[in-house]
């Protein structure tokens, strides 16, 4: 089945059913209304001279406009290049100047990012998005045909075309461009929906950044392909934390896509029982991904809200790989089994190798202005793990984060899991730092409950580690921090944490001289 026939069938069969609720603007769109809007925007893109395969970037906030623009790009054959505003100004600037763009569509609040860039020199048009704007040189992109009845654009969808180009912030070097083809994105969505039994009766709460792959694939394409519905809100943040459950209840959400940092924040902030009561009665599925889910956090959240969490696993490059589902037997610490069509093997050094039919064609080459072709059919995930006899996948850490102490390989994740079981520990990050004799030593950075000191708890934490870990894995240092460096997708930034630890140790040595 082609993507064109898939979309046509969904829109026809679910024509009058609600697809998207924009709770920010209190607007609701049925499948047919959303499809018509996207076709109108696609007409607008083509009227401005954009041709199949050309790229447009957008710096936009979550909302129905953002979602419609994604589908307009699909219908017009234009490559969508969502730029994450959480990236550094340097990274954003490099992407905009070197990604071969024709246009940049932006929210007026991001206008200041362009001051030092040479976009006009490169003949890249700047278009301000909004229902109203004071930007003099901006063309307001949302306009469709003057007469909506005249919108008769037939979507020019070619399954093999690149649909999206997402850029991720690497630990070193330039932002890495990850392109994905039309057919691959929709095939991944169909496979995940089938794996988790997501269907037309699921309503997903969209609180991930829409510029991030999970905010595009997991919480937009997946519900569309399922014929379900999605409630779009601002991305989860400390400012939206206390309104989280209000939106869930008001719009009768029954499916959640969360990351571990959200689970932790909700547990710490909730004071009322109505959220747990709503969950027990109404929540059908809670998917968790993008970062490792600590066992204690999973247990605490499930106990507090009376619902099960289903961890999944995937990469920006390979999309969905594995996942737990309500129909599967639960195995502690596992991210579930491979999706249909996906193959997983473990390399000799423990690295997880992936073969998925929807893997990207290759990283975007700034020089060639197209994807580099991958040299191997098995994609190296960078994660360390193992498969059990039933095909369940267990992830024990990142290959680059592996600590080698005295010739022994130590998984930071295994140490973190032990320390996180202590009731006074909120979060742990374990890193390796240089050691003159052992090569590396193990350092545990801990975030404790307010008012507690590491000096008081160090003996308890050390005793717990000695009881449950090998001698080589026991941290040689415990360092207390006030907050952990986290990415916008909820991943602990180990490189920044390691730099901070080295700086703290260096500072203390200097003070003692």
Contacts of residue 18, defined as CB under 8 A and 6 or more positions apart, other chains included, come to 28, 29, 30, 229
pTM, rounded to two decimals: 0.85
Strand, helix or coil for residue 150 = helix
- Per-residue pLDDT band for 149 (boundaries 50, 70, 90) equals very low
Note the pLDDT tens digit of each residue in 376-394.
789 999 999 999 999 999 9
Whether 403 and 432 have beta carbons less than 8 Å apart is answered as: yes
Measured over the CA atoms of residue 288, residue 291, residue 292 and residue 296, the dihedral's sign is negative
Classified by CATH at the fold level, domain 402-512 comes out as GMP Synthetase; Chain A, domain 3 (3.30.300)
Which of 209-218, 335-344, 432-441 has the weakest average pLDDT? 432-441
| Rounded-to-integer distance, Cα 192 and Cα 168, Å | 23
Q: What is the mean pLDDT of residues 123-134?
A: 72
- Per-residue pLDDT band for 151 (boundaries 50, 70, 90) equals low
| Rounded-to-integer distance, Cα 105 and Cα 98, Å | 16
Pinpoint the alpha helices (H) of 382-513. Answer: 412-419, 454-468, 494-512
Query: At 226, which helix (H) or strand (E)?
Result: helix 222-226
Residue appearing with tokens 């009766």: 201
- Per-residue pLDDT band for 482 (boundaries 50, 70, 90) equals very high
Closest CA to 234 of 17, 464, 25, 416: 25
b/e sequence 401-433, b meaning 16+ C-beta within 10 Å: bbbebeeeebbbbbbbbbbbebeebbbbbbbbe
Note the pLDDT tens digit of each residue in 48-84.
899 999 999 999 999 999 999 999 999 999 999 999 8
Strand, helix or coil for residue 149 = helix
Query: At 267, which helix (H) or strand (E)?
Result: helix 260-269
Whether 37 and 208 have beta carbons less than 8 Å apart is answered as: no
């Amino acid at each position: 089945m082609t993507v064109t026939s898939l979309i046509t069938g969904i829109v026809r069969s679910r024509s009058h059913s609600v697809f998207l609720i924009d709770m920010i603007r209190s607007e609701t769109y049925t499948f047919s209304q959303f499809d018509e809007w996207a076709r109108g925007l696609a007409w607008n893109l083509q009227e401005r001279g954009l041709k199949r395969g050309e790229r447009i970037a957008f710096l936009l906030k979550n909302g129905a406009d953002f979602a419609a623009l994604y589908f307009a790009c699909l219908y017009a054959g234009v490559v969508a290049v969502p730029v994450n505003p959480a990236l550094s100004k340097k990274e954003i600037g490099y992407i905009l100047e070197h990604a071969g763009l024709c246009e940049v569509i932006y929210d007026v609040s991001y206008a200041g990012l362009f001051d030092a860039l040479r976009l006009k020199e490169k003949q890249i048009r700047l278009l301000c998005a909004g229902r109203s704007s004071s930007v003099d040189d901006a063309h307001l992109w949302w306009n469709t045909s003057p007469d909506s009845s005249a919108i008769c654009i037939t979507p020019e969808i070619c399954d093999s075309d690149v649909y999206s180009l997402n850029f991720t912030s690497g630990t070193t070097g330039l932002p890495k461009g990850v392109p994905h083809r039309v057919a691959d994105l929709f095939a991944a969505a169909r496979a995940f929906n089938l794996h988790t039994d997501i269907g037309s009766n699921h309503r997903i709460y969209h609180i991930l950044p829409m510029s991030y792959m999970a905010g595009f694939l997991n919480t937009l394409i997946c519900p569309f392909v399922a014929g379900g519905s999605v409630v779009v809100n601002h991305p989860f943040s400390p400012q939206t934390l206390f309104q989280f459950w209000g939106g869930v209840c008001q719009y009768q959400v029954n499916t959640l896509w969360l990351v571990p940092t959200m689970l932790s924040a909700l547990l710490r902030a909730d004071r009322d029982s109505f959220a747990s009561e709503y969950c027990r009665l109404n929540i059908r599925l809670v998917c968790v991904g993008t970062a490792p889910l600590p066992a204690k956090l999973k247990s605490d959240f499930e106990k507090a809200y009376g619902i099960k969490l289903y961890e999944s696993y995937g990469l920006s490059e390979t999309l969905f790989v594995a996942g737990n589902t309500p129909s599967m037997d639960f195995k502690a610490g596992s991210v579930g089994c491979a999706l249909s069509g996906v193959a997983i093997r473990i390399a000799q050094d423990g690295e997880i190798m992936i073969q998925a039919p929807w893997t990207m064609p290759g990283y975007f080459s700034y020089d060639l202005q197209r994807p580099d072709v991958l040299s191997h059919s098995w994609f190296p995930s960078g994660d360390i793990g193992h498969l059990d006899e039933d095909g369940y996948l267990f992830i024990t850490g990142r290959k680059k984060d592996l600590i080698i102490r005295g010739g022994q390989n130590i998984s930071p994740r295994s140490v973190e899991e032990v320390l996180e079981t202590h009731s006074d520990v909120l979060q742990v990050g374990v890193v390796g730092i240089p050691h003159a004799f052992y090569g590396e030593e193990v350092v545990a950075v801990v975030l404790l409950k307010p008012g507690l000191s590491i000096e008081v708890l160090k003996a308890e934490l050390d005793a717990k580690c000695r009881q449950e870990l090998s001698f080589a894995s026991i941290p040689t240092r415990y360092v207390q921090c006030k907050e952990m460096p986290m990415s916008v997708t909820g991943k602990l930034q180990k490189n920044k944490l390691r730099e901070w630890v080295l700086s703290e140790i260096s500072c203390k040595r200097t003070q003692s001289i």
